[in-house]
Chains A and B, each alone.
Chain A
Amino acid sequence: AQRVTQPEKLLSVFKGAPVELKCNYSYSGSPELFWYVQYSRQRLQLLLRHISRESIKGFTADLNKGETSFHLKKPFAQEEDSAMYYCALSRRSGYNKLIFGAGTRLAVHP
């Protein structure tokens, strides 16, 4: 069964500290992994996807197939990074059914 696990409901850090939001998944085929972000009073939006291998707003995420993980990292957190972050999974081909993790709220304090 497809499943996405985000073990932390809340991650609280100080500005300038490194951030790692954990995501583990279970999927039998070839998954595509995403991170979505929801800032306060804004709609959910794509932050990054593993096939792009991009760094967005200083965030990176590497797919580790051996550990079935897709952790989101940023070396120096900013206050504007405070938001709800969702890890999501879908299969590579066919109709896109995006399965979300429970979400992690990141709070960056000054």
Chain B
Amino acid sequence: DTAVSQTPKYLVTQMGNDKSIKCEQNLGHDTMYWYKQDSKKFLKIMFSYNNKELIINETVPNRFSPKSPDKAHLNLHINSLELGDSAVYFCASSFTGELFFGEGSRLTVL
């Protein structure tokens, strides 16, 4: 009974392709997030949704588009992938301040 689950865990693709990462949480939280962890292990927030509504949108290229079909899901779609997009992407959800993270999705762009 995983709380926050992401798929796929690993994704290897060519530059220019479009890919999606899916995230689901079964904790009943209203707020979900996408974070990016770069090669130096630095974690940076990308997006946050509260009850399907976008509330945080950091300085992220338009090629990244989050979609929240319902409050339990927050997917990340990336268009025209670039080498610099290679990273580990973490989904998270929260209710009272504590964030619960997924295991991460490692994206490698060749």
Q: Which residues in A have some Cβ–Cβ distance to B below 8 Å?
A: 32, 34, 36, 42-46, 49, 84, 86, 90, 95-100, 102-103, 105
B97 touches A97 (CB 8 A): no
**A37 shortest CB reach to chain B, Å:** 11
Known: A96-B94, A102-B40. Is A43-B102 also a contact (CB below 8 A)? yes
Docked-complex contact B99 and A95, CB < 8 angstroms: no
Of the candidates A49, A86, A95, which one forms a contact with B43 in the assembled complex, judged by CB atoms under 8 Å apart?
Answer: A86
Give a binary string over B68-110; 1 marks a CB under 8 Å from any A CB, 0 the rest.
0000000000000000000000101010011111111000000
Chain B residues lying within 8 Å of A46, measured Cβ to Cβ, are 98-99
Q: List 23 A-B contacts (CB under 8 A).
A: A32-B97, A34-B98, A42-B103, A43-B90, A43-B101, A44-B90, A45-B100, A46-B99, A49-B98, A95-B31, A95-B50, A95-B56, A96-B48, A96-B94, A96-B99, A97-B45, A97-B56, A100-B35, A100-B43, A102-B40, A102-B42, A103-B43, A105-B41
Interface size on B, residues (CB 8 A): 25
Cβ of A96 and Cβ of B97 under 8 Å apart? yes
How far apart sit A105 and B92, CA to CA, in the bound complex (Å)? 22
- B104 CB contact (under 8 Å) in A34, A43, A105: A43
- Looking across the interface, which residue of chain B has its beta carbon closest to that of A105? B41
Which B residues have a C-beta under 8 Å from some C-beta of A? Answer: 4, 31, 33, 35, 40-45, 48, 50, 55-56, 90, 92, 94, 97-104
CA distance A100 to B98 in the complex (A): 13
Tell me which residues across on chain B come within 8 A of A45, comparing CB atoms.
100-101
- Distance in angstroms between the alpha carbons of A32 and B96 in the assembled complex: 12
B45→A44 contact, CB < 8 A? no
Minimum distance in angstroms from B3 CB to a CB of chain A: 9
* Least CB distance, A63 to chain B, in whole angstroms: 14
In the bound complex, CA of A9 to CA of B42 (Å): 11
Taking CB atoms, residues of chain B closer than 8 Å to A95 are 31, 48, 50, 55-56
